[in-house]
Amino acid sequence: MTGTTKVRRVGNAKPPTRASKLLQNRWAGIAGLLIALLAPFVNASGYALSVMTSAAIFVMLAAGLNIVVGYCGLLDLGYVAFFAVGAYTSGVLSTRLDLPLLVTVPAVIVVTVIAGIIIGAPTLRLRSDYLAIVTLGFGEIIRITANNLDVTGGPSGIYGIPHLTDSPVVFYYVTVVVVSLAVLGAARLGRSRLGRAWRFVREDEDAAEAMGVHTYRVKLAAYIAGAVWGGLAGVLFAAQLSAISPTSFTFLQSALVLMAVVLGGMGSIPGVVIGAVVISILPEILRDLADYRFFIFGVLLIAVMILRPQGLWPARSKEVS
Amino acid sequence: MSLLSVEDLRLSFGGLLAIDGLTFSVGEAEIVSVIGPNGAGKTSAFNCVTGFYRPTSGRITLRGKDLPGLRPSAIAGLGVARTFQNLRLFGELSVLDNVRAGSHLWLKQSVFDALLHTPRYRRSERECTEQAHHWLDFVGLSGDRYSEARNLPYGEQRLTEIARALARRPDLLLLDEPAAGLNHGEKAEMLDLIRRIQALGVAIVLIEHDMGLVMEVSERVVVLNFGKEIADGRPEDVRRNPAVIEAYLGSDAHA
Amino acid sequence: MTQLVWNGLFVGSFYALVALGYSMVYGIIKLLNFAHGDLYMLGAFVGFAILGAVGGVSSSMALPLLLVVLLATMVLTGLAGVALERVAYRPLRRAPRLSLLITAVGASFALEYGMRAAAGADPRVYPVRLGGTSVEVLGARLTLQQLVLVGVAVVLMIGLNLLITRTREGRAMRAIALDPRTSSLMGIDVNAVISRTFFIGSALAGAAGVMAGAYYGKIDFLMGFLIGLKAFTAAVIGGIGNIPGTMLGGLLLGLLESFGTFWLGGEWRDVFAFGVLILFLTVRPTGLLGERVTERV
């Protein structure tokens, strides 16, 4: 069909606030990065650095899960499985084969892609709610397997993983750079052809399919992207702690990442980053409430879904344009 | 050779025969209407052609290629686009993004282009947006293109859905009750739009209850009743066909 | 061999009891009540609290007392389930499925960690334990307490099946499962029926919780997590939404686990169970007795 008929232009063709919106998002990103970069000048105690590094890693996890849940609308309750796969792959390779941590990164990417396919391929044909429980089951399978195998060190896990650098400050900055790139990458994927396809699937799978979107493949791509993000966050995690064990990869961790994504606003990059920072820093500030914090998180999840399902900093339809 | 050919199509849900032997064909740039009372199996036939249902038996071919068994997305890739009876827009996305879904398959852009924002990425995104505007202009959508699709008035949602389908640049367009719920003026515009789409060289299969529109625009009309095909011919012949009149007006024998 | 079968059936009857609530709720409002396993946990703690309030009992009186506590717990857990639906799920009945699922995860969290805040993180020891004499049947050792518990489970399941197939209430439930809007047009009070469904499902989970507490002797705030997953697995194996199928699925999962543990070792038991779940969902997502549905566009 030849689509070059001359037609009269009607309606407003210019987005009213597009430039300002873009600027706003970019400024929000730069401001966030600046805060992260300047934070050590305010407080560079070992404790503060470890909390901030953990928060940055958590941001990366949230950005990855956001691809799956926020963009594509697939509820993954076992996201921590990919975190674990990444951490264990780099941990096992670096301690057993004496490889520098950086060298394990390509292997981590390959293994997490495979993990994403293994978990996604059989389950992505299912209804969305079945998917939720199956991913939860997979998360448990990975954790229990790590707990039972010899190569992963059983219940005591792996220790003596080489640090990337000896200075906690330098490691913090490395983490911030990696996480920023990951967040930027996720945002760019979201604005790409693939990212649009994810949203089409989230909005209406049948209509997407009718428009020529191979929905199964697109969902698998979301899964794989999420897996790689999670796995790379796992490498950072292993490098930070230099010891990992199955207790770091429970359902609780998956639920917390989900909470960060939901609280901030599914599909919204600034929202998800803020959500992740809040979820990871808040408990450190509110130590006295430690006993109640997960209870409060649970209640908060319900309240957000009922009162403000778009989250604190919602994604705009315009943001996609 | 005709563009689309449906031969002896049958579809059953459990014991219920939704389509019982439907045969028709559509030539290039031809407009064929499928009419019949509610529940006659019209939409089911659409779903068979577009791959959402797998026919129980019969053949469906597009330019000689068998369609059943292909994914709906694969059939869409062969040049078939459709609209849905109950509007299936991507409600939370902007009007423009909805239409971009149509140009989606034509985009030449890889994941790496997107991650690195290569010139190819920028170019393809720009083209995609221009295309979307072009088709929104073509259908004559005057409302805000950056607002969420679900906030548009009903008639404009219909137009958006058609623009989205056109952006696929199909050879065959299936329209499922495009005039339903439109007022008199909007119906006249729809009639004009259908003709302009045909003028682009697109063949159209139309499901429609508005007989005025059907008789005006169609080159041929296929009539279904309880899943059975009871007539296939030029509008003026079908209009006079006793079996059609009986199906529409009912008779004591069937009542 | 017979021992493995008996162990499997015993554990399976627990799974079935919990799975029924899952299945009923899913059947009627198509919601995976993620917090269902936590209602089982709640039941165990409610029973624990009641027993604590009653004080010490001689072991001869343990069984009748336990039955009374069981009934009281069922009522209380049932009401908790109703409250959960009213507060968390009802406002979202028309919302996208994703919102509802996330809410259910939140509810599960709130119940688990609410209980942790109330009762502490450490396991509690049940004040009553059924000491039992064991009998040998066909080479399998089974204790009197096991027999009683399985007996109670069977009675509850038969009762439920009668309720659903024979009564007005059951007919209303089945009608809503098919088409809520038409049901309400036909004069069925949809909200009331959904509430009662939650009541029954939660009561069964609560009963299972008390029984588990009395049998295993220890309870903790996370005890519902794993059994919730297992119960879902059981429901899927049998055909979710299908009551006899769910019972069958529970028993089958118990048997599979019992044999799987024997072959692979106890540490792989849960992996095996989830493996079965994934296999079933891939090969036959409608379960053994579920109907095949053509999804309409």
Task: Please name each of the domains of chain B with its CATH number.
Answer: 85-172 (3.40.50.300)
Are the beta carbons of C297 and B13 separated by less than 8 Å?
no
Collapsing DSSP to helix, strand or coil, A211 comes out as coil
Are the beta carbons of A10 and B140 separated by less than 8 Å?
yes
Residue type at A168 in one-letter notation: P
Collapsing DSSP to helix, strand or coil, A244 comes out as strand
Label residue C168 exposed, middle or buried (CB < 10 Å: 0-12, 13-18, 19+).
exposed
Q: Distance (Å, rounded) from C-alpha B121 to C-alpha B119?
A: 5
Phi, psi of B13 (to 5 degrees): -105, 110
Q: Distance (Å, rounded) from C-alpha C225 to C-alpha C232?
A: 11
Alpha-helix residue ranges (DSSP H) falling in A66-103: 80-96
Query: Is the per-residue pLDDT at B16 higher than 90?
Result: no
**A62 neighbors A257 (Cβ within 8 angstroms):** yes
Give me the DSSP letters along A28-65: HHHHHHHHHHHHHHH---HHHHHHHHHHHHHHHHHHHH
B240 to chain C, closest Cα gap in Å: 34
Interface test with B, best of A193, A224, A319 (most B CBs within 10 A): A193
**B164 neighbors B156 (Cβ within 8 angstroms):** no
Predicted local distance difference test score (pLDDT) of residue B198: 95
Predicted local distance difference test score (pLDDT) of residue B39: 79
Collapsing DSSP to helix, strand or coil, A144 comes out as helix
Give me the DSSP letters along A223-243: HHHHHHHHHHHHHHHHHHHSE
Interface check for B90 against chain C (CB to CB < 8 A): the answer is no
Are the beta carbons of A207 and B89 separated by less than 8 Å?
yes
Say whether pTM exceeds 0.95. no
Interface check for C120 against chain A (CB to CB < 8 A): the answer is no
* pLDDT, mean of residues B174-199: 92
* Count of Cβ atoms closer than 10 Å to residue A4 Cβ: 7
* pLDDT, mean of residues C63-72: 84
In angstroms, the Cα distances linking A119 to A144, B252, C62, C260, C287 are 16, 60, 47, 22, 20
Residue of C nearest to B72 (CA): C297
Give me the DSSP letters along B71-114: -HHHHHHTTEEE--TT----TTSBHHHHHHHHHGGG----HHHH
Name which of A132, A134, A309 is nearest C278 (Cβ-Cβ).
A134
Residue C285 zone, left/alpha/beta (φ > 0; ψ -120 to 50; rest): alpha
Lowest-pLDDT range of B130-139, C196-205, C253-262, C288-297: C288-297
The complex's ipTM works out to: 0.90
Average pLDDT, chain C: 84
* pLDDT, mean of residues B133-141: 92
Are the beta carbons of A185 and B115 separated by less than 8 Å?
yes
Query: Is the per-residue pLDDT at A110 higher than 90?
Result: yes
Predicted local distance difference test score (pLDDT) of residue A11: 43
Return the DSSP state at C87: I
Q: What is the dihedral of CA B158, B162, B164, B166, to 10 degrees?
A: -170
Q: Distance (Å, rounded) from C-alpha C90 to C-alpha C193?
A: 13
Name which of A9, A197, A206 is nearest B104 (Cβ-Cβ).
A197
Are the beta carbons of C108 and A129 separated by less than 8 Å?
no
Predicted local distance difference test score (pLDDT) of residue B253: 43
Phi, psi of B207 (to 5 degrees): -100, 125
Domain residue ranges in chain A:
55-249
Share of chain B above pLDDT 90, in %: 51
Tell me the chain A residues in contact with residue C92 when contact means C-beta distances shorter than 8 Å. Answer: 305-306
Predicted local distance difference test score (pLDDT) of residue C108: 93
User: Residue B60's closest CA among B6, B19, B21?
Assistant: B6
Q: Distance (Å, rounded) from C-alpha B139 to C-alpha B156?
A: 9
Query: Is the per-residue pLDDT at A17 higher than 70?
Result: no
Read off the pLDDT of residues C163-219 as tens digits, 9 standing for 90 and up: 888 888 888 888 888 888 888 888 888 888 899 999 999 999 999 999 888 888 889
**B84 neighbors B174 (Cβ within 8 angstroms):** no
- For residue B26, give both structure tokens: 């559509």
Which of A13-17, A131-135, A312-316, B25-29: highest mean pLDDT? B25-29
Q: Distance (Å, rounded) from C-alpha A242 to C-alpha A160?
A: 6
Query: Is the per-residue pLDDT at A2 higher than 70?
Result: no
Query: Is the per-residue pLDDT at C92 higher than 50?
Result: yes
Residue type at A74 in one-letter notation: L
**C200 neighbors C28 (Cβ within 8 angstroms):** no
Element (H, E) at C142: strand C140-143
Q: Distance (Å, rounded) from C-alpha C20 to C-alpha C158?
A: 12
Query: Is the per-residue pLDDT at B133 higher than 80?
Result: yes
- For residue C69, give both structure tokens: 């506590």
Read off the pLDDT of residues C127-142 as tens digits, 9 standing for 90 and up: 776 666 667 776 677 7
- Residues 6 or more apart whose CB falls under 8 angstroms from that of A278 comprise A260, A263, A264
Tell me the chain B residues in contact with residue A5 when contact means C-beta distances shorter than 8 Å. Answer: 138, 196, 199-200
